[in-house]
């Protein structure tokens, strides 16, 4: 009788589990997706979500009021933590925009409207206008009601990850900003697949077996070293693909399923996970320049902060 097969050792099991997680994350985060028309359904849902997120004080339900308070508090804390006002102020000063015409795309509660004199805020929320004493335009980032080359500059902070067709938004930014103008592009890059479920803040008792396993794996999957282990391989492949493509490239990203019912943590409502390198490749293939990037192969190490893009001739 043959001897019973030896059980796999715990050490080997851990190694296999690690590589399975790594391969799954490479597959999940490889930016296969491009814009699609069916995203209109997400856009309608997001418009309703942000209407409630900035709900006017006219008799909101208790649940709507609670969600508004959570959303605004999270946004305020994040803006303070990452010194968004300071970053935009430095952008304005570096490019002498104080008296230039500037567009704030996805302006939200309008906390940046006094950074420049000639300011226009654009947002999809029907209830955010109450925050503004400067021009506010209700519109989508993918279909802006402005003339070509109307603005000297634009900024967009933590917005593109919530736009169902982000390449359309990038095209619109290029269209409305003058040649030689600058864009401060500051999405939340690399949004996680687990934010919508709120694994970080919910107890284990909220989840089934799969959810408990996902929550237990967060110390590994959210660590910097683990994330870098799959980001750099995907970057290398996307860089080679973009450089082998004649003419302008398409903008690639990973789609996420947003949570428009419960705002557990920041970016619970994100619909995209994006790599800043992909944005750099997209703009450069159109003759624009990232003026705060290393350049060339150095762009493979571009960090996850805001990009400053100077628009080219648009020929």
Q: Residue 216's pLDDT is what?
A: 94
How many Å apart are CA 276 and CA 272, to the nearest integer?
12
Instruction: Return the pLDDT at 309.
Output: 98
pLDDT in the model for residue 82:
84
pTM to 2 decimal places: 0.85
Q: Is residue 144 part of a domain?
A: yes
Q: Give the per-residue pLDDT at 49.
A: 60
> Could you tell me if residue 2 is inside a domain?
no
- The total of structural domains in the chain comes to 1
In CATH, what number is assigned to the domain containing residue 292?
3.40.50.150
Query: Do the domain assignments include residue 16?
Result: no
Instruction: Specify if 3 maps to a domain.
Output: no
Confirm whether 102 is domain-assigned.
yes
Write out the residue range of the structural domain in which residue 111 sits.
22-310
In a domain, 260, yes or no: yes
pLDDT tens-digit readout, 300-314:
999 999 999 999 987
| Residue 309 three-state SS | strand
What residue spans of the chain are helical by DSSP H? 10-29, 40-53, 62-81, 84-94, 166-176, 209-216, 218-221, 224-243, 276-284
Residue 14 included in any domain: no
Please tell me the distance from the alpha carbon of residue 60 to that of residue 165, in angstroms, as a whole number.
Answer: 30
- Report the distance separating Cα 97 and Cα 183, nearest Å: 11
pLDDT at 228: 86
Element (H, E) at 182: strand 177-186
Residue 11 lies in a domain: no
Which stretches of the chain score pLDDT less than 70?
1-7, 13-29, 37-68, 70-71, 315
């Amino acid at each position: 009788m043959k001897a019973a097969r030896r059980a796999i050792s715990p050490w080997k099991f851990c190694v296999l589990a690690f590589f399975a997680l790594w391969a799954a994350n490479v597959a999940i985060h490889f930016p296969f997706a491009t814009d699609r028309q069916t995203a209109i359904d997400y856009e309608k849902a997001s418009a309703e979500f942000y209407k409630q997120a900035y709900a006017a004080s006219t008799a909101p339900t208790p649940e709507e009021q609670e969600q508004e308070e959570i959303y605004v508090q999270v946004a305020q804390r994040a803006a303070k933590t990452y010194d968004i006002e300071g970053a935009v102020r430095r952008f304005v000063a570096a490019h002498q925009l104080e008296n230039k015409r500037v567009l704030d795309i996805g302006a939200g509660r309008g906390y940046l409207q006094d950074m420049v004199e000639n300011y226009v805020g654009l947002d999809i929320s029907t209830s955010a206008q109450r925050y503004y004493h400067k021009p506010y335009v209700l519109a989508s980032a993918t279909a802006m009601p402005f003339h070509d080359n109307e603005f000297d500059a634009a900024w967009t902070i933590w917005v593109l990850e919530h736009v169902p067709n982000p390449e359309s938004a990038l095209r619109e930014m290029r269209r409305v900003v003058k040649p030689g103008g600058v864009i401060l592009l500051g999405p939340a890059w690399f949004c996680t697949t687990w934010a919508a479920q709120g694994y970080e803040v919910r107890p284990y008792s909220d989840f089934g077996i799969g959810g408990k396993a996902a929550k237990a794996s967060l110390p590994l999957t959210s660590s910097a070293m683990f994330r870098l282990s799959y980001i750099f391989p995907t970057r290398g492949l996307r860089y080679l693909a973009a450089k082998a493509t004649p003419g302008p490239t398409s903008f690639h990203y990973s789609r996420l399923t947003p949570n428009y019912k419960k705002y557990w943590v920041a970016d619970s409502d994100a619909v995209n996970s994006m790599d800043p390198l992909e944005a750099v490749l997209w703009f450069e293939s159109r003759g624009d320049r990232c003026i705060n990037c290393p350049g060339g192969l150095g762009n493979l190490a571009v960090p996850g902060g805001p990009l400053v893009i100077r628009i080219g001739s648009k020929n």
